[in-house]
């Protein structure tokens, strides 16, 4: 007891005597020491929480119900007038379109037919020819469009109702969207009878799957694309606010699916989707799905799980399907349909996809839903709210706000940054192993950290990535894909092997290159991930999964086979995609025709980052 | 007094026969023509002539004006014209976009979307409030009150004085010791035209909307038309006097509801002419008769000639309900045919918030070269980069087509920009003009208080210049208005914005302040463990 009192007294006395500044410095040092000592655990905890959070995104316990933020929209508040007479019109258009299909009409014949039909309705219409040149060959077609100037409006604002000739079924596998096109024609006939439109109505029937709309939108906005030759549009209207894309490939449909992801990870304003969902449910009586798969309740749940959890597991399975599809579209920057092209011009757009079924819905339901949705978007007086562009729809009626998913990737990135900074600061010191060591105390000596060669190595991997990208965009690569892939993989994986020739350095003077490279590699990867989170969360999340652990565990070794083995693993992670030939071809097509930057991003950012980790293993300790 | 006025009113029909009220004449005319696309264009014209009158000389603004006694001439308007010594005045309030390609030229050329106003006024005495600009401001405010329109917004930031596009319709008096007349022009495309503008318009008519052709001005039908616009035109004709023309044009679509293009007064306006305006010197309905189709018109016109059927209200049995019927069904033309020799398309390209391209294409379908003046008036929030001006025909650069160019640069927060270019249009060709446009970054107080959808740019005007100077028949073609969207903060969440910016400022200030005021000294810090011993 006395001893304790004495120690406490000594401590208090010492504190009183001490300079308060020194005390503060000591406090700081103590805090840093506690954190650094436990940094490893903090890092692991951050990784763990981040990955668990990602896994929890589809959970029904996360997220909230959808709501309409913009009160002016007033979805589903109007009487609809679309009726059976209009359905009969749509049927008649369908017959003619089927005739065109059976006659194997060319793009130009089709577009001329559509233009004539619009003109017969008294709506100014025109066609547009376009040719895209790409390494995979030319893509050409003819769009037809019509501009209905609304009464008493100045023509400064417009809404688009569009349908592509080829449906989005199987990502444009060639299924025709005949019913979607006839819906647009019948709607044109119907909508012109009303004087209540506050914005011009633009009807676009784009050729093929996505390329037709890309050509039309580029011409409409005067955007130049070096590989596109398109006619100028003869008819113009004003600023397009919203676009509804109708995709109705089957005979009838049971549900309407929302497809909303745009190219390069852009999303439309959620108010538009929520309004459509409400209108479809209450005005049209059609249930809405996110994408085109239903909630299948036949999931096999192992019997050992208590039955109380079955419902939750089923909900989780269904939602995770939606989330995975969302991630797939958004991370690859691939739009989930024709609507995806609108977002780059600040136009809110989505595709309503009639899920093919034997019933019960058809033209009557879709016409009413489109009419009511147009009335809703017609009410719009200003841009939709800026905060409604970040969301993940887990079901049509539930979504995650940005705050409930963004931190997951940020946590991983923070963990990587901590790891990188730790290595960086460790590199500056080396324990003094000389004989002058005092007993019981480590002595550390400072050493230099040569950054320039490390940055040189990083830069050269990125240049290698750029060369790789220019190689795979050549016509030669597309034509001899199997051979070229092997060749490119060999070349790209051989060049870093030159790191084996790097001489071993005196570790007491300068930090080893491999450690510095790992530090900078981790910091850079972490920065990339945290920046990408707000641009394209799905891509950031994929990067966090692919880079988080692998980059943190890279380490050099003294044994050559282990070094080579590790490097081979990293090369596989960096370049394995080159053998996914179909996926690669699509990504390149998206880049060349639509300007999706996923392919160059992978080549110039992702692959070099992983190669750097591979180099860490190759470089001498 | 009241009794005598009543007695006098009883004498009105008698006075009407003399067709003149102490030097004032009122004429009204309704012209109706079917447009090629099945729509029906109608134009009301109410014209009052003040015989022998002349505009007020602004030099005499300081002295007492002659007393004004009007019988038919609208007093409210007359007072304004005298008060501000306006020689010529044109005010139009239109809704919709006139489609020159399908409808041809309008009967009244001023069809710019929204409110548009131009006047010719002479410089007054040296008193500042008698200057042209001061009177222009006061005139706008006075007319804004008279017509319940936002004409007061046509301020200095929208006012320009183009040289070529707006020549006076009447004559400009040459007063001694007075500087020549000056033009002021302004337009506000986002002005919405509705009943509150039509009611004061009707009040300026001698018979209001109770009798005569004005009986047909039924707001429920007119304001549902595809296009409608009202106009006020004051001009001075030296031989006759001061003339005020009140016009109302509309384009109605009989095919919107049904599938026949037959029309009648009761189908277009939901009213018939039940009584003639007793003070009108002439009152007639002029119907353009189809030339190459069979038709039937009823009742029988009083006079048919030059492809027109004329109904004189004095000679027709009332109520009058003119109607035109086609026995054949209507088919829309499937081949696009332009109804006017000039076709102008103006668009704003580019989706970025700070820079875009103004693309104008002017198509001359005629067989002869035409010289036109292209007038662009822009509020200062957009500015043109003149060095980017490109002229081309079918992709071939043709800088030689630009004959003359004058540009008034905008003054931020002060003055509008005006670009006036004289272009030569080769026959059967489309000239395309491209200009880079920059957008200003607005201060937060300069954003309009209403819903944020961007700023509307007024219509550009293409004027066909007469081949021989002196021939003053001008053809004006107005383009559609454009919407430009400058960078706009999210006004709906000022709280978040304030929090973010305040945190940032506090952080920066704190670090800088700390760095500046802290004294750095070297302290000998020992290991904390050692100290405790």
Both tokens assigned to A190: 């119907």
Say if CB A144 and CB A205 are below 8 A apart: yes
Min Cα–Cα distance to chain B from A505, Å: 33
Other beta carbons within 10 Å of A616: 28
DSSP designation for A75: T
User: CB distance from B226 to chain A under 8 Å?
Assistant: yes
3-state secondary structure B276-302: CCCCCCEEEEEEECCCCCCCEEECCCC
* Residue A48: per-residue pLDDT: 95
Angle at which helix A451-472 crosses helix A481-494, to 10 degrees, equals 170
All residues of chain B having their beta carbon less than 8 Å from the beta carbon of residue A154 are 96-97, 113-114, 189-190, 456, 480-481
Say if CB B272 and CB B313 are below 8 A apart: no
Both tokens assigned to A442: 């480590």
* pLDDT band with cut points at 50, 70 and 90 for residue B471: low
In B365-484, at which residue ranges do the beta strands (DSSP E only) sit? Answer: 370-378, 382-393, 396-397, 402-408, 417-425, 429-439, 455-457, 461-464, 475-478, 482-484
| Short-list A237, A231, A201, A226, CA closest to A216 | A231
C-alpha–C-alpha distance, residues A184 and A174, integer Å:
19
Planar angle of CA B370, B374, B376, nearest 5 degrees: 170
Choose the weakest-confidence range: A343-347, B6-10, B76-80, B196-200. B6-10
For the A64-401 domain, the top CATH level (class) is alpha beta
Min Cα–Cα distance to chain A from B102, Å: 9
All residues of chain B having their beta carbon less than 8 Å from the beta carbon of residue A153 are 96-97
Q: Is A427 helix (H, G, I), strand (E, B) or coil?
A: helix
Task: Name all domains of chain B by residue range, CATH numbers in brackets.
Answer: 21-325 (no CATH), 342-443+451-484 (2.60.40.740)
Tell me which residue in B451, B456, B533 faces A154 most closely, judged by beta carbons: B456
C-alpha–C-alpha distance, residues A110 and A116, integer Å:
10
Which residues, given as ranges, of chain A have pLDDT below 50? none
Other beta carbons within 10 Å of B384: 19
All residues of chain B having their beta carbon less than 8 Å from the beta carbon of residue A14 are 531-532
Q: What is the mean pLDDT of residues B146-156?
A: 88
Q: What is the mean pLDDT of residues B376-401?
A: 90
| Short-list B232, B315, B282, B249, CA closest to B33 | B249
User: CB distance from A379 to chain B under 8 Å?
Assistant: no
- What integer best gives the mean pLDDT of chain B? 86
User: CB distance from B253 to chain A under 8 Å?
Assistant: yes
Residue B146, φ and ψ in degrees, nearest 5: -70, -40
ipTM of the complex: 0.89
* Residue A482: per-residue pLDDT: 85
Say if CB B151 and CB B140 are below 8 A apart: yes
% chain B with pLDDT above 70: 92
Residue B498 has pLDDT above 90, yes or no: no
Tell me which residue in A151, A153, A156 faces B225 most closely, judged by beta carbons: A151
* Residue A107: per-residue pLDDT: 92
Residue B8 has pLDDT above 60, yes or no: no
Other beta carbons within 10 Å of B472: 9
User: CB distance from A14 to chain B under 8 Å?
Assistant: yes
Say if CB A246 and CB A161 are below 8 A apart: yes
Nearest-10 Cα torsion for A163, A164, A167, A171: -120
Residue B530 has pLDDT above 50, yes or no: no
* Residue A1: per-residue pLDDT: 55
Residue B362, φ and ψ in degrees, nearest 5: -115, 120
Residue B18 has pLDDT above 60, yes or no: no
DSSP string, B429-461: EEEEEEEEEEE----GGGS-SS--S-EEEPPPE
All residues of chain B having their beta carbon less than 8 Å from the beta carbon of residue A238 are 480, 482-483
| Short-list A450, A451, A448, CA closest to A509 | A448
C-alpha–C-alpha distance, residues A123 and A114, integer Å:
11
* Residue B7: per-residue pLDDT: 46
**How far, CA to CA in Å, does B507 sit from each of A207, B512, B518?**
54, 9, 16
Q: What is the mean pLDDT of residues B150-161?
A: 88
DSSP string, A211-250: HHHHHHHHHHTT---TTEEEPPPSS--SEEEEEEEEE--S
Q: A156–B456: do the CB atoms touch at under 8 Å? A: yes
Say if CB A280 and CB A244 are below 8 A apart: no
* pLDDT band with cut points at 50, 70 and 90 for residue B141: very high
C-alpha–C-alpha distance, residues B187 and B457, integer Å:
9
Residue B29, φ and ψ in degrees, nearest 5: -150, 140
DSSP designation for A267: -
Domain definitions of chain A by residue range: 35-57+406-432+443-618, 64-401
User: CB distance from B102 to chain A under 8 Å?
Assistant: yes
Burial B233-255 (b: 16+ CB within 10 A, else e): bbbbeeeebbbbbbbbbbbbbbb
Q: Which residue has the tokens 């088919």?
A: B331
Residue B61, φ and ψ in degrees, nearest 5: -65, -30
Other beta carbons within 10 Å of B518: 8
User: CB distance from A299 to chain B under 8 Å?
Assistant: no
* Residue B532: per-residue pLDDT: 39
Q: A222–B357: do the CB atoms touch at under 8 Å? A: yes
Please measure the distance between the N-terminal and C-terminal CA atoms of chain B and give it in whole angstroms. Answer: 117
* Residue A3: per-residue pLDDT: 64
Per-residue pLDDT tens for B79-111? 999 999 999 999 999 999 999 988 989 999 899
* Residue A182: per-residue pLDDT: 95
Chain B residue with Cα closest to A18: B531
* pLDDT band with cut points at 50, 70 and 90 for residue B469: low
> What residues are paired with B332 via a beta bridge?
none
**How far, CA to CA in Å, does A440 sit from each of B527, B528, B532?**
15, 17, 18
Check residues A214 and B354 and name the one with the higher pLDDT.
Answer: A214
Say if CB A171 and CB A128 are below 8 A apart: no
Chain B residue with Cα closest to A150: B226
User: CB distance from B156 to chain A under 8 Å?
Assistant: no
pTM, two decimals, is 0.90
> What residues are paired with B298 via a beta bridge?
B323
Q: What share of chain B is helix, strand, coil (3-state, %, to 5)?
A: 20, 35, 45
Indicate the pairing of strand A252-259 with strand A288-290: parallel
Residue B269 has pLDDT above 50, yes or no: yes
* Residue B2: per-residue pLDDT: 47
* Residue B526: per-residue pLDDT: 63
Q: B97–A236: do the CB atoms touch at under 8 Å? A: no
Check residues B474 and A589 and name the one with the higher pLDDT.
Answer: A589
């Amino acid at each position: 007891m006395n001893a304790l009192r004495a120690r406490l007294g000594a401590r208090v006395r010492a504190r009183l005597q001490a300079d308060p500044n020194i005390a503060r410095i000591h406090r700081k040092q103590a805090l840093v020491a506690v954190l650094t000592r436990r940094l490893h655990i903090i890092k692991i905890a951050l990784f763990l929480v981040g990955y668990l959070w990602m896994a929890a995104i589809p959970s029904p316990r996360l997220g909230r119900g959808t709501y309409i933020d913009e009160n002016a929209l007033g979805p589903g508040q109007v009487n609809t007038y679309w009726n059976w007479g209009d359905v009969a019109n749509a049927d008649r258009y369908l017959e003619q379109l089927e005739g065109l299909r059976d006659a194997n009409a060319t793009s130009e014949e089709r577009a001329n037919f559509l233009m004539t039909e619009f003109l017969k309705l008294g709506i100014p219409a025109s066609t547009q020819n376009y040719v895209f040149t790409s390494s995979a060959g030319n893509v050409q077609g003819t769009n037809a469009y019509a501009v209905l100037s609304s009464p008493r409006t100045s023509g400064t604002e417009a809404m688009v109702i569009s349908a592509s000739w080829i449906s989005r079924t199987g990502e444009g596998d060639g299924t025709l969207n005949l019913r979607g096109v006839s819906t647009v024609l019948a709607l044109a006939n119907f909508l012109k009878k009303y004087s209540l439109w506050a914005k011009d109505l633009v009807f676009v029937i784009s050729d093929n799957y996505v390329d037709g709309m890309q050509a039309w939108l580029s011409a409409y906005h005067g955007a130049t694309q070096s590989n596109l030759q398109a006619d100028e549009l003869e008819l113009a209207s004003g600023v397009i606010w919203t676009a509804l894309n109708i995709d109705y490939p089957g005979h009838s449909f049971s549900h309407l699916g929302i497809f909303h992801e745009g190219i390069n990870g852009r999303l439309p304003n959620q108010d538009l989707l929520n309004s459509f969902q409400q209108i479809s449910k209450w005005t049209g009586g059609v249930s809405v799905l996110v994408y085109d798969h239903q909630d299948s309740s036949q999931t096999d749940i192992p019997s050992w799980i208590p039955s109380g959890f079955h419902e939750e597991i089923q909900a989780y399975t269904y939602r995770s399907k939606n989330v995975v599809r969302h991630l797939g579209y958004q991370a690859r920057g691939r739009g989930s349909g024709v609507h995806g092209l609108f977002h780059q011009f600040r136009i809110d757009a989505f595709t309503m996809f009639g899920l093919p079924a034997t019933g019960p819905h058809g033209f009557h339901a879709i016409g009413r839903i489109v009419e009511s949705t147009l009335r809703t978007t017609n009410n719009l007086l200003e841009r939709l709210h800026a905060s409604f562009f970040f969301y993940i729809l887990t079901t049509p009626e539930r979504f995650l706000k940005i705050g409930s998913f963004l931190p997951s990737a940020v946590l991983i990135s923070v963990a990587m940054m901590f790891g990188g900074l730790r290595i960086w600061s460790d590199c500056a010191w080396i324990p003094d192993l000389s004989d002058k060591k005092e007993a019981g105390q480590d002595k550390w000596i400072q050493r230099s950290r040569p950054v320039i060669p490390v940055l040189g190595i990083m830069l050269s991997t990125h240049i290698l990535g750029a060369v790789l990208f220019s190689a795979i965009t050549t016509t030669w690569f597309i034509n001899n894909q199997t051979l070229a892939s092997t060749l490119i993989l060999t070349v790209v994986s051989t060049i870093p092997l030159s790191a084996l020739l790097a001489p071993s350095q005196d570790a007491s003077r300068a930090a080893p290159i491999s450690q510095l490279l790992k530090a900078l590699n981790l910091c850079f990867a972490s920065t990339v991930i945290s920046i990408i989170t707000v641009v394209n969360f799905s891509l950031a999340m994929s990067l966090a999964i692919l880079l988080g652990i692998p980059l943190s565990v890279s380490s050099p070794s003294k044994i050559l086979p282990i070094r080579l083995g590790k490097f081979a693993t990293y090369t596989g992670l960096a370049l394995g995609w080159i053998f996914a030939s179909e996926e690669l071809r699509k990504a390149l097509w998206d880049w060349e025709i639509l300007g999706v930057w996923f392919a160059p991003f992978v080549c110039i950012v992702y692959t070099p980052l992983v190669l750097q980790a591979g180099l860490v293993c190759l470089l001498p300790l | 007094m009241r009794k005598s006025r009543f007695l006098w009113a009883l004498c009105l029909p008698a006075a009407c026969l003399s067709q003149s009220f102490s030097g004032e004449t009122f004429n009204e005319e309704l012209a109706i023509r079917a447009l090629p696309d099945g729509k029906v264009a109608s134009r009301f014209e109410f014209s009052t002539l003040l015989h022998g009158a002349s505009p007020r000389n602004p030099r005499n603004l300081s002295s007492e004006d002659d007393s004004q006694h009007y019988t038919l001439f609208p007093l409210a308007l007359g007072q304004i014209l005298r008060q501000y010594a306006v020689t010529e005045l044109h005010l139009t309030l239109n809704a919709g976009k006139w489609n020159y390609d399908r409808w041809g030229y309008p009967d009244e050329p001023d069809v710019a979307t929204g409110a548009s106003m131009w006047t010719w006024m002479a410089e007054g005495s040296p008193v500042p409030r008698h200057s042209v600009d001061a009177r222009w401001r006061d005139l706008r405010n006075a007319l804004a009150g008279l017509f319940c329109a936002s004409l007061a917004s046509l301020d200095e930031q929208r006012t320009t004085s183009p040289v070529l596009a707006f020549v006076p319709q009447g004559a400009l008096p040459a007063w001694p010791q007075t500087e020549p007349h000056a033009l002021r022009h302004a337009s506000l495309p986002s002005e919405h035209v509705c009943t509150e503008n039509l009611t004061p318009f009707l009040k300026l008519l001698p018979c209001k909307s109770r009798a005569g052709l004005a009986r047909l001005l039924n707001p429920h039908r007119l304001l549902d038309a595809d296009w409608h616009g009202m106009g006020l035109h004051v001009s001075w004709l030296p031989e006759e006097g001061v003339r005020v023309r009140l016009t109302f044009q509309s384009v109605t679509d009989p095919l919107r509801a049904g599938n026949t293009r037959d029309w009648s007064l009761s189908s277009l306006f939901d009213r018939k002419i039940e009584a003639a305006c007793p003070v009108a010197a002439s009152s007639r309905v002029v119907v353009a008769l189809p030339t190459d189709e069979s038709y039937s018109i009823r009742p029988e016109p009083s006079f048919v000639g030059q492809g027109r059927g004329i109904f004189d209200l004095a000679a027709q049995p009332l109520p009058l309900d003119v109607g035109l019927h086609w026995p054949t069904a209507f088919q829309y033309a499937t081949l696009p045919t332009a109804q006017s020799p000039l076709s102008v398309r103006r668009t704003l390209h580019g989706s970025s918030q700070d820079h875009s391209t103004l693309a104008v294409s002017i198509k001359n379908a005629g067989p002869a070269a035409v010289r036109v003046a292209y007038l662009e008036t822009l509020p200062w929030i957009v500015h043109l980069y003149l060095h980017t001006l490109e002229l081309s025909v079918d992709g071939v650069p043709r800088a030689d087509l630009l004959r003359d160019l004058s540009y008034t640069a905008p003054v931020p927060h002060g003055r509008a920009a005006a670009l006036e270019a004289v272009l030569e249009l080769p026959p059967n060709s489309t000239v395309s003009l491209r200009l880079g446009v920059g957008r200003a970054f607005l201060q937060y107080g300069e954003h309009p208080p209403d819903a944020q959808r961007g700023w509307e740019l007024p219509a550009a005007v293409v004027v066909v210049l007469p081949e021989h100077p002196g021939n003053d028949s001008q053809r004006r073609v107005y383009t559609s208005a454009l919407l430009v969207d400058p960078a706009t903060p999210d006004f709906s969440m000022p709280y978040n914005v304030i929090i973010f910016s305040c945190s940032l400022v506090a952080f920066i200030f704190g670090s800088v302040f700390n760095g500046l005021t802290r004294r750095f000294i070297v302290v000998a810090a020992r290991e904390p463990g050692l100290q405790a011993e």
